[in-house]
Chains A and B, each alone.
Chain A
Amino acid sequence: MDIYRITALGLIGAVLCVTLKKECPQIAMGISILTSVLILMFILPRFETVFDVLERIDSMLTGESGYVRLILKIVAVGYISSFGAKICEDFGESSIGHKIELGGKIIIIIISLPVITGLLDMLGELMP
């Protein structure tokens, strides 16, 4: 099963990171970044099946299409911003982590603007 591989990699990375934390904190940070990168790279191909189902749902929807693509973009932005923010907070740089999260939130708002305007237009049409 894949979960064993992920947990094993995470534990090995954590142990190596702790051993190096005292003498050489920079390289310990490198190890923790690399472990999370490897786990993410292992997980990403698994997303393929989720996307196929989402695409099928999107094609079934008769109305305004492209919302599923928007959702996927928001999910991706959320993943990457939390990836970076958590690593920064892990090594004590919580202010930098918060800035990354803030940037992620603003990008998500910018991405979802068309949906909001579309909703308002629809409401405008419904109102007599």
Chain B
Amino acid sequence: MDIQIIFRIAATGILVAVLNQVLIRAGREEQAMMTTLAGLVVVLFWLIQYINELFTSMQTLFNL
């Protein structure tokens, strides 16, 4: 029951949101888009690991 991962993802989300605003105010919309994508890739990477773990444990449990 590791809740740290949720807080880590929320922290990345908030960081990306803040960076987005700062970059937009500074007039660099493209970099803002880039940071959002970068944050998204990092979050998806963590997510894939957990989804993979869930599906393998379901596979062994239900021996599909």
Interface residues of A (CB under 8 A from B): 5, 9, 12-13, 16, 19-20, 23-24, 26-28, 30-31, 33-35, 37-38, 40-42, 44-45, 47-48, 51, 69, 72-73, 75-76, 79-80
Contact = CB atoms under 8 A, between A and B. Distances in A.
Contacts of A38: 1-3, 5-6, 50
B51 A20 contact: no
Contacts of A51: 61
A40 B53 CA distance: 11
Nearest to B40: A26
B43 to A, nearest CB: 4
A42 B43 CA distance: 21
Interface residues on B, range: 20 to 34
Interface in B33-55: 36, 39-40, 43-44, 46-47, 50-51, 53-55
Contacts of A9: 1, 3, 6
Contact of B36 (A24, A37, A48): A24
A30 B1 CA distance: 17
A34 to B, nearest CB: 6
